[in-house]
Structure 1
Amino acid sequence: MSLRFLLCPQETVLDMLRDAMMAKVDTSKGFLIDGYPREVQQGEEFEQRIGQPTLLLYVDAGPETMTKRLLKRGETSGRVDDNEETIKKRLDTYYKATEPVITFYEKRGIVRKVNAEGSVDSVFSQVCTHLDALK
Structure 2
Amino acid sequence: MRLVLLGPPGSGKGTQAARLKETLSIPHISTGDLLRAEVAAGTPLGLQAKEVMARGDLVSDEILLGMLESRLGQADVANGFILDGYPRNLAQAAALDSLLAKIGQPLDAVVQLDVGTDLLVERIAGRAKAEGREDDNPESVRKRLQVYNDSTAPVIGYFADRGTLTRVDGVGSLEEVLGRITTALPR
Question: Which position in structure 2 is the counterpart of 1:36?
Answer: 86
Query: What is the rounded CA distance, in whole Å, between the counterparts of 1:86 and 1:42 in structure 2?
Result: 25
Equivalences for 1:22-33 in 2 at 5 Å? Answer: 22-24=73-75, 28-33=78-83
Equivalences for 1:12-91 in 2 at 5 Å? Answer: 12-24=63-75, 28-51=78-101, 52-91=106-145
| Alignment TM-score, normalising by the size of structure 1 | 0.83
Number of equivalences: 129
Query: What is the rounded CA distance, in whole Å, between the counterparts of 1:85 and 1:70 in structure 2?
Result: 11
Query: What is the rounded CA distance, in whole Å, between the counterparts of 2:179 and 2:144 in structure 1?
Result: 27
Give CA-to-partner distance per residue, 1:90-133, whole Å, 9 cap, x none. 001111223321111111111011101222221110111123x2
Alignment of 1:11 with 2:65, yes or no, is: no
Give CA-to-partner distance per residue, 1:38-87, whole Å, 9 cap, x none. 11111011122343422111011010111111111102334443221110
What residue identity is the alignment partner of 1:42?
A: Q
Query: What is the rounded CA distance, in whole Å, between the counterparts of 2:122 and 2:149 in structure 1?
Result: 17
What residue identity is the alignment partner of 2:141?
A: I
Taking only aligned residues, the RMSD between alpha carbons, in angstroms, comes to: 2.1
Query: What is the rounded CA distance, in whole Å, between the counterparts of 1:78 and 1:105 in structure 2?
Result: 36
Structure 1: segments with no counterpart, 5+ residues: none
SS at 2:81 equivalent: coil
Higher strand share: 2
What residue identity is the alignment partner of 1:38?
A: R
Greater relative contact order structure (CA < 8 Å, 6+ sep): 2
Structure 1 residues 79 and 125: CA distance shift in structure 2, 3 A: same
Structure 1 residues 47 and 94: CA distance shift in structure 2, 3 A: same
What residue identity is the alignment partner of 1:36?
A: Y
Question: Which position in structure 2 is the counterpart of 1:128?
Answer: 182
Query: What is the rounded CA distance, in whole Å, between the counterparts of 1:5 and 1:86 in structure 2?
Result: 19
Q: Percent sequence identity over matched residues? A: 31
